[in-house]
Structure 1
């Protein structure tokens, strides 16, 4: 297998926690450079990997195949476009871009140049989401009517007074652009693009000079019905910074039963602590006390109890991109999926401003 030469733009939390561990662990990648505009702290962890100072220097590296973009949201479009025009494959952190027009332009450009463009919606590979997907595929709950997905934290002040993610003057800041892509992409993967979105987006903590820190999106889908009018699946996606007592991560309600799951996927805290290598058999394994609970009927049987969480596998993202570049697979998370997420975010901001549902073009 030919090694894919990779350069990473940025050396913050995203690069160190969500990308570099998998570039190192996944067979077939070779890290050739890290872009840091001023600092050189990556040399402490990667003393043999050269630092470059700007995008043009990076794109002129010999034999570079893939650019991984982990810099601020406002740079995603510019850096992705420059990398694609330089005939490089691209992985870009979520959100894909900050506007729908930018997302469409990049997708068209990658397609025209026959390059791989992958958006890092890694939460597709959360163990809890994989479990939910399997429950729905196996129809354990009957016809699903209501789906709740939350991503909550408790932090009453800004994490960092100078953090761009919470600066309302920064393009692509706020929790809807930060956590929204995760929840929205999962919903799109399960159900497709909704008919409408009704949204509330707010600065719930009422902090001065702060971007949005909470959202609640209600997505409506048509489902088959025995009556003359279609039934409705309601999907509620929300995030908040004021949840000291955490509500369920997932709540699913169907005609035959329900499934409720508490606790966030274990991969992020494991990566932060470096307590388990990413290629270790125990990586991504949810502790039994966090397994979700099901109460449902299957035929004439009533089933109640816990369902073991499937292993989380963020490394699958990098394996899939590698195989797609090598021509042996196709992207699991396509640019069209990422466009759908941006489309829904765009509609959510409009809905919040209007205090009314907004239709979404399919």
Structure 2
């Protein structure tokens, strides 16, 4: 038997939707991590789910606690940068939920704080560990699609009513481009690297919308074209990925089921966790004949992100999402806004 695994003590700032549904259960079910503190103004809600956790009302109490190793920030987007910088000043390692910040300048400032403190900084990009994305990544790498010519990534919803919540208000970091844009941009960069240019159409389609609730974004590469799309008035599309290459196409409908299971109170690691019940369809060119069949999905597991964070802190490995990757996404978020406002393509 080797030495006992050191358990990292984690403080979670924010117990709204993202903190409650994603971060708290993932931290609690990742070996070598312990949910030590939750910063929330709803102590009864937290205590009902995690009775053993220390609950404080202010983030400063978590920052000042010498027992805390890692701070996870799941507060509203506009608070990401100041909270991250404060945690780093207190010598804590930091995970920020996406988007990293609300401006590229803020992102660069947070990164400078991390470099000065010598602490690990990362952004939570859980959708790198979606079953559908892992399957697409494996298929492209295998060469079965040939050289990818077109890549379409959709994350559509049917939410005709505008909810009264900060994500749907006209405030820094609000709207669909900041909510889903970071996921789709990060996945595209993981597959293809930085594009040559971006052309973005950001819109408000619902009558009562106060901020962006639709985007259609084109990333231009030398020959390849990547289209990222999200709408709020899409009752029945269901398309997640369409990938077309010189040897074949892959079509995937339906979302990874991990979020739905977490929303329903499921716990990471349960039987069947991360399996995809709706396999994609692969069409390949076999000597001039197109043949179509289903493709078994690679299982997904969002805990891989937190396992990677633990390895980064304990073993000095690169974090699962590096600060440079976070900066690249923030740069594209800003350029997308500029492109939409100016109605033109922005070269990188």
In structure 2, the partner of 1:338 is 326
1:307 pairs, out of 295, 300, 305, with 295
* 2:32 matches 1:18: no
Q: Is the 2:70–2:94 Cα contact (8 Å) retained in structure 1?
A: yes
For 1:93 and 1:328, locate their aligned partners in 2 and report how far apart those are by CA, in whole Å: 21
In structure 1, the partner of 2:217 is 217
**SS state at 2:100 partner:** coil
Q: Do the aligned partners of residues 103 and 299 (structure 1) sit closer, same or farther apart at CA in structure 2, a change above 3 Å counting?
A: farther
Q: Is the 1:176–1:345 Cα contact (8 Å) retained in structure 2?
A: yes
TM-score, length of structure 1 as denominator length: 0.92
For 1:89 and 1:261, locate their aligned partners in 2 and report how far apart those are by CA, in whole Å: 37
For 1:60 and 1:351, locate their aligned partners in 2 and report how far apart those are by CA, in whole Å: 42
In structure 1, the partner of 2:188 is 187
For 2:312 and 2:179, locate their aligned partners in 1 and report how far apart those are by CA, in whole Å: 27
> Is the deviation greater in 293-302 or in 277-286?
293-302
**SS state at 2:155 partner:** strand
In structure 1, the partner of 2:255 is 264
Q: Is the 2:98–2:182 Cα contact (8 Å) retained in structure 1?
A: yes
In structure 1, the partner of 2:176 is 175
**Residue segments in structure 1 that go unaligned for 5+ positions in a row:** 223-231
Deviation, structure 1 residue 108: 2.6
Deviation, structure 1 residue 110: 1.4
For 2:238 and 2:306, locate their aligned partners in 1 and report how far apart those are by CA, in whole Å: 31
Q: What does residue range 239-318 of structure 1 map to in structure 2 within 5 Å?
A: 239-275=230-266, 277-287=267-277, 290-297=278-285, 303-318=291-306
Measured on the aligned residues, the alpha-carbon RMSD in Å equals 1.5
TM-score, length of structure 2 as denominator length: 0.95
In structure 1, the partner of 2:88 is 84
Deviation, structure 1 residue 274: 2.4
Q: Do the aligned partners of residues 172 and 81 (structure 1) sit closer, same or farther apart at CA in structure 2, a change above 3 Å counting?
A: same
Q: Is the 1:40–1:51 Cα contact (8 Å) retained in structure 2?
A: no
**SS state at 1:51 partner:** strand
* 2:66 matches 1:62: yes
Deviations 1:205-234 (A, max 9, x none): 1215x1110001000012xxxxxxxxx110
For 1:281 and 1:305, locate their aligned partners in 2 and report how far apart those are by CA, in whole Å: 26
